[in-house]
Chain A
Amino acid sequence: MAAAAWLVALLMLFGFEMPSRAQQAGGTNVAVTLVPGAQQAPVGASIPLAFVMKPKPGWHGYWENPGDAGAEATISWTLPKGITASDLRYPVPERLVVSGIMNYVYEHEYALLADLKLAADVAPGTRLPIRARLDFLACTAEICVPDSAEVSTEIVAGPAGQPAAMDKRFAAFEAAMPRPIGAEGRFLVENGMVRIGVPLPASVDVEDPYFFPFDYGSLDHGAAQKVSRNGDLLIVETRAGANATGLAAVPGLLSIGEGQGLLVTAKPGPVPPAGVTADAEAPAAGAGWRVIQAALAGAILGGLLLNVMPCVFPILSLKALSLAKAGADESSARREALAYTAGVVLVCVALGGILLGLRAGGAAVGWAFQLQDPRVILILLLLVTAIALNLAGLFELPAIASGGRLAAAGGVHGAFWTGALAAFVATPCTGPFMGAALGAALVLPTAASLAIFAGLGLGLALPFLLLGFVPALRRRLPRPGAWMNRLRRILSVPMFLTALGLAWVLGRQAGVDGMALGVGAALVLGLGFWWVGVRQGGSRAWLPLAPALAAAAAAIFIVPLGVRAEVAAQGVLASEPFREASLAALRAERRPVFVYFTADWCITCKVNEKGAMASAEVARAFQARNVAVLGGDWTRGDAEIGRFLAQHGRSGVPLYLYYPPGQDAKILPQILTVGELTALGTPV
């Protein structure tokens, strides 16, 4: 290559013309050729057209925003009637610093694309001559030469609806184009600096990221850009340009490596400082307020539903029982209800906070993440076993044993911890109800997300809160009596079942050895409690529990963690790669088809894939209804997918489509819910 470049330079020096240049349609230093996307273009549709630009070695052409110097290309068309051309589309540019001046350029072969639209009334078979004059600037580090090229080609109008046979090169041309990120960014101007936050999943690796602004004056082109990541936010910090204050938007192209670029428009709003976690920032005023409200309502409702789940119901009943036991004392009932609520809400918010913190740190976690660690499961197993044994009457807790003499303070204390426990064990039950609300919580500002977690807790605590504050409800609770002990014994059954469930989860995560270890630890603990029960009432009755607890705790350190990954990996729906041909084949079979388009850098896509689409319920429903799933990955800008998106009026992902048998596609909303997905298809 280098040798060839030298040869070209040498020939030029002696005034030789390269023979191939005579065939170029124009351009002295950057050769220009016009390539139609297809020879035949269907009427009523568009086809792309490429200006293939080939700079001589050492020369470059310019991007739309040329940087500190240079100029963008201008075009004048001569088109036959019935054809209109779009603005030029530019591929992802490169940076070129010449003596400290920033230029946004292309130093290699590149293609500018324009889309030609054929009117529906053009007669198929018509020959359509396309002529264009491209004026552009070609430069080296030393000199700049304005250049122009007169180029032409001809296409033929084809029948409507018949897909064009695309030139193979266009796959590469389209792949070099930047892609719309599908979510809005934020920017903040402060002390002469601009900070831009771009939503980008933490799992996406970026290489040499750089924000190319489209407009002059928003950023100082020549200043260095400091890029950091804060969870699912990529933060670009650089010196503000001359016009940065008072801008309504900063549109730009974020390059993330290997010619990959994402189009993003940043609107004014809060952006966390580089390297500082999102917690410090208040939510954007009015930003998605309705989304927040809807998610909050969903969270409260979901929390309420959790009360009837097998993992929570025994705990709640236990507490209601103690309330009934304590008699109808108005103020203590209220205090206990409030303490219980506080316990539930605090644990929910704390779990939410930990989740957000882990996400900010880049860890791929979802709700119920704490149940992905076998050690946590083991602790829960021991705790639930102890509660079940207590309910079964193996031993008495001092507070409960003291019955009527239950101190008010002790009751409040107990209520708080009961609430905390209820919230902690309730999290695995959240999945089916909470997918949508939690999905929203993870993309909302931190404070709003925490509010949603709090809402979930509030919903969970609501029945007990009502019981505490509405004496009429409490009066309907039966009087304390001997029946209570019987009920306690009965309630121990679902609690033992919960323990069994936890043992099973432990087995899934840590294998048979882990499960045996867990059950063994529970047995040791049970023996300890049995001994405590025997000595109940005597002094130092709790002493025997110490070695049992120590033995059980030892198990926590040796439980195997290895099998974890298998469970932790969250699956998307089983799908086949999207191809138009496979879609057509499936539709011909009259199978219902769900089609989704995603990209690694699309945060909305990832939320849906980890939320609604990963739900077991949806997988079951799709299987039962024979719904085929096709998944298209647009991370690298597959041209076929790009055209398909354009046909459906989208310039980017996500796009969710459902094809009922024998019917046209229905476009699904961008935020999916479990309910929406399970409703697809007809039962068979």
Chain B
Amino acid sequence: MKHLIPLAAAFVLAAPAMAAPQIGSPAPNFRLVGMNGQAVSLDQYKGKIVVLEWNNPGCPFVKKHYGSGNMQKTQAAARNAGVVWLTINSSAAGKQGHMDGAAARAFVAGQKAQPTAYLLDPAGTVGRGYGAVTTPHMYVIDRAGRLVYAGGIDDKPTANPADVAGARNHVLAALGEVAAGKKVSVPTSRPYGCNVKYKDS
């Protein structure tokens, strides 16, 4: 009994607060530097549907979706529908997946990826602010700037590229529903993948 309280207290200190925005609440604004050195902020896309994708090229789960072409296909489908796609890299310096602008440009070109922008978040502030825990971790923001989806890219939480074929792509489904003015039927799902390689706090 007595030792429960200090233990609980110790645990509070060990876990930094990651109060992720709730589904239906406004998506917090942010400002990051992109791979080309340009500053990008979320509110410059006001009135548009926005997808956030957390990325770490070294993560096997990210490799699953880029290697199979699934991520690029999803990006192309979204961009063709007028959706803004922001890929965000929150890997800290010295950790897996950390990139500077040049490395990010090489990655995007090498993978034939089609994000609107590839953003660098080495301090992890945006990632932590959104409660991004895995790579990939996907978010969809509607035209009113509200968060309507957060979770995995699909419903097959494996690293096996063969599983892409039979999976439900939650992001494309959510984008379709938002475009049709419908409520997102699966607003949250398990975000699966590797830990985001944040700077140790």
Q: Which one of A97, A139, A227 lies within 8 Å of B194 (CB-CB)?
A: A139
B140 is an interface residue with CB less than 8 A from chain A: no
7 tightest Cβ-Cβ pairs between the two chains A and B = A146-B159, A99-B198, A216-B190, A68-B133, A242-B188, A224-B12, A144-B194
A71 is an interface residue with CB less than 8 A from chain B: yes
Contact residues in B for A180 (Cβ distance below 8 Å):
none
Contact residues in A for B18 (Cβ distance below 8 Å):
100, 222
Contact residues in B for A224 (Cβ distance below 8 Å):
8, 11-12, 15
- B59 near A144 with CB under 8 A, answer yes
Contact residues in B for A68 (Cβ distance below 8 Å):
133-134, 191, 195
B117 is an interface residue with CB less than 8 A from chain A: no
Q: Which one of A71, A97, A101, A222 lies within 8 Å of B158 (CB-CB)?
A: A71
- A144 near B60 with CB under 8 A, answer yes
Min CB–CB distance B135 → chain A (angstroms): 8
B85 is an interface residue with CB less than 8 A from chain A: no
A-B contact pairs, 27 of them (CB 8 A): A66-B192, A69-B191, A70-B192, A71-B157, A71-B159, A97-B14, A98-B195, A99-B196, A99-B197, A100-B128, A101-B196, A102-B15, A103-B195, A141-B195, A143-B194, A144-B159, A146-B60, A207-B3, A209-B4, A217-B188, A223-B15, A224-B11, A226-B8, A228-B4, A242-B150, A242-B151, A242-B187
Q: Which one of B4, B61, B157 lies within 8 Å of A206 (CB-CB)?
A: B4
- B8 near A99 with CB under 8 A, answer no
A243 is an interface residue with CB less than 8 A from chain B: yes
Roughly how many angstroms separate A145 CA and B61 CA in the complex, as a whole number?
A: 9
Roughly how many angstroms separate A97 CA and B194 CA in the complex, as a whole number?
A: 13
Task: Tell which of A99, A141, A207, A222 has the most Cβ of chain B within 10 Å.
Answer: A99
Q: Given A100-B198, A137-B159, A225-B8, are A69 and B192 neighbors across the interface (CB < 8 Å)?
A: yes
Q: Given A100-B18, A101-B198, A146-B159, are A227 and B8 neighbors across the interface (CB < 8 Å)?
A: yes
The chain B residue sitting closest to A242, CB to CB, is B188
Contact residues in B for A97 (Cβ distance below 8 Å):
14-15
Q: How many residues of A contact B (CB 8 A)?
A: 40
The chain B residue sitting closest to A71, CB to CB, is B157
| A220-253 with Cβ < 8 A to chain B | 222-229, 242-243
| B103-152 with Cβ < 8 A to chain A | 124, 128, 131, 133-134, 150-151
Q: Given A68-B134, A71-B157, A143-B96, are A99 and B190 neighbors across the interface (CB < 8 Å)?
A: no
Contact mask for chain A residues 95-121; partner B; CB cutoff 8 A; 1 contact, 0 none: 001111111000000000000000000
Min CB–CB distance A395 → chain B (angstroms): 51
Contact residues in A for B196 (Cβ distance below 8 Å):
69, 99, 101
Roughly how many angstroms separate A144 CA and B191 CA in the complex, as a whole number?
A: 15
Roughly how many angstroms separate A296 CA and B150 CA in the complex, as a whole number?
A: 50
Roughly how many angstroms separate A404 CA and B193 CA in the complex, as a whole number?
A: 90
Min CB–CB distance B95 → chain A (angstroms): 7
- B134 near A216 with CB under 8 A, answer no
Q: Which one of A101, A208, A226 lies within 8 Å of B195 (CB-CB)?
A: A101
Q: Which one of A100, A135, A242 lies within 8 Å of B160 (CB-CB)?
A: A135
A362 is an interface residue with CB less than 8 A from chain B: yes
Q: How many residues of B contact A (CB 8 A)?
A: 45
The chain A residue sitting closest to B97, CB to CB, is A143
* Given pairs A74-B158, A242-B188, 12 additional interface contacts (CB within 8 A): A69-B194, A71-B192, A139-B195, A142-B95, A142-B96, A146-B60, A209-B4, A222-B133, A223-B15, A224-B8, A224-B12, A229-B1
Contact mask for chain B residues 2-17; partner A; CB cutoff 8 A; 1 contact, 0 none: 0110011001101110
The chain B residue sitting closest to A209, CB to CB, is B4
The chain A residue sitting closest to B60, CB to CB, is A146
Task: Tell which of B1, B11, B23 has the most Cβ of chain A within 10 Å.
Answer: B11
The chain B residue sitting closest to A237, CB to CB, is B8
Contact residues in A for B199 (Cβ distance below 8 Å):
99
The chain B residue sitting closest to A216, CB to CB, is B190
- A99 near B188 with CB under 8 A, answer no
Contact residues in B for A209 (Cβ distance below 8 Å):
4
Roughly how many angstroms separate A112 CA and B195 CA in the complex, as a whole number?
A: 23
Roughly how many angstroms separate A656 CA and B60 CA in the complex, as a whole number?
A: 51
Roughly how many angstroms separate A69 CA and B54 CA in the complex, as a whole number?
A: 13
Min CB–CB distance A408 → chain B (angstroms): 53
